[in-house]
A and B are shown apart, each in its own frame.
Chain A
Amino acid sequence: MSIHYILALNRQGKVRISKWFDRKISLDEQFQVRQKIHRLILSRDHKNQSNFVEFEKKKLVYRRYAGLFFCMCIDMDDGELMYLESIHLLVEVLDQYFNNVCELDLVFSFYKVYAVIDEMFMSGEIEETSKAVVLDRVDQVMAYN
């Protein structure tokens, strides 16, 4: 498995996106992981330290956007730069879809956010990297609602 989970946390440690691909992680462990990641990432020096950190025998790849920390957990032998770029692509797609996305959109239009994630990532793998294709598919899905 490549991506074990995708999380987006705000500065208070509140979870705004939580997508778990690894079914071996129980609900209690998920709760622990969120708290540990919040403390780990917010205590880092984001200007002088890298976007990659070892976490529980895996790697955390994270990036900060407007007070939100988007994190992906990947295996130790996975290429972190690729996943760093996929986080950026995800944020760009959300930004285009919501026309200047902010935390409010993640909270109150969470179903649209997860529709975007489901188009881009499947079973822990990157499925689609074309912004136009993702946006087109999400529009089609939302049209059914």
Chain B
Amino acid sequence: MNRVIIVGQKKTAKIALLRSLFEGVTERSDGDDNSGLILSNVPLSTRYYSCNLDFMVDEYDDSKEWEDWCEEILSVEALELREAINGIIFIFDFSSKSILQDLTKLSKVYDQIEQDFLLRNKDSIQWEGIKLAVGFSRSPVAQQLLDEVYDASLEKGIELVDLSIASQENAYGEATGIRRVKEILETCSWPDVVKLR
């Protein structure tokens, strides 16, 4: 099974993101209460493989609830869940006042997942799961804030994709925005794939 948790504060375009990545994902919108929603068997195919993904959507109200969410997933009881998932996509609004603290808590979750993985798989050099933070904004974002968030995520080994910019390509000709999110999903080493000849 290929499982990804997609988590963010309420009304942070999680369903909109999935809809723009995959056709016909769901009829639900970000206005509904999507906590606990599971989107199963979302097809993904590349020239090397095809597979189905399960997206587990989760939401929180405020920073305190996010802290509780992280504590819960870091707990011993959640070890099985950490072993089962292949990535966490964190979606946030750039206007949130606690982005940097939220990213710090998120990085602790990723670190624990990687540590658990390397303990179980001593021959591996890294956890192949998705460490992705997707930021969006309903108004223009200050460059200083962008730089701060980018530096913070870089330091923690989290890739930041900025959906607030319209362009799908950066100054180096690399994919950005939704295209980059799709690339990250495609280059992940999913455990359950059908390899194509």
Contacts and interface: CB of A to CB of B under 8 A. Distances in A.
Q: Do A and B bind each other?
A: yes
Interface of A: 10-15, 18, 30-31, 34-35, 38-39, 42-43, 46-47, 64, 66-67, 103-104, 107-109
A103 B172 CA distance: 16
B175 A104 contact: no
Nearest to B175: A67
Contacts, number: 49
A34 B125 contact: yes
B167 to A, nearest CB: 15
A66 B174 contact: yes
Contact of B46 (A12, A64, A66, A104): A104
B186 A39 contact: no
Given A64-B172, A67-B175, A104-B187, A42 B125 contact: no
B126 A15 contact: yes
Interface stretch (B71-79, B89-97, B150-158): B150-158
B27 to A, nearest CB: 31
Interface in B38-95: 46-49
CB-CB nearest 10 A-B residue pairs: A108-B48, A12-B159, A67-B174, A103-B187, A13-B157, A11-B159, A42-B154, A107-B187, A66-B174, A104-B187
A43 B126 contact: no
A46 B187 contact: no
B16 to A, nearest CB: 23
B98 interface: no
Nearest to B155: A39
B174 A104 contact: no
Contacts of B157: 12-13, 35, 38
Given A12-B131, A12-B159, A103-B187, A43 B48 contact: no
B125 A15 contact: yes
Contacts of B173: 66
A10 B172 contact: no
24 contacts: A10-B187, A12-B159, A12-B184, A13-B157, A14-B126, A15-B125, A15-B126, A34-B125, A35-B157, A38-B157, A43-B151, A43-B154, A46-B172, A66-B172, A66-B174, A67-B174, A67-B180, A103-B183, A103-B187, A104-B187, A107-B48, A107-B189, A108-B49, A109-B48
B119 interface: no
Contacts of B189: 107
Contacts of A13: 157
Nearest to B132: A12
Interface in B96-132: 125-126, 128, 131-132
Contacts of A104: 46-48, 186-187
A18 B125 contact: yes
Contacts of B126: 14-15, 34
Most chain A CB within 10 A, of B48, B171, B175, is at: B48
Nearest to A31: B125
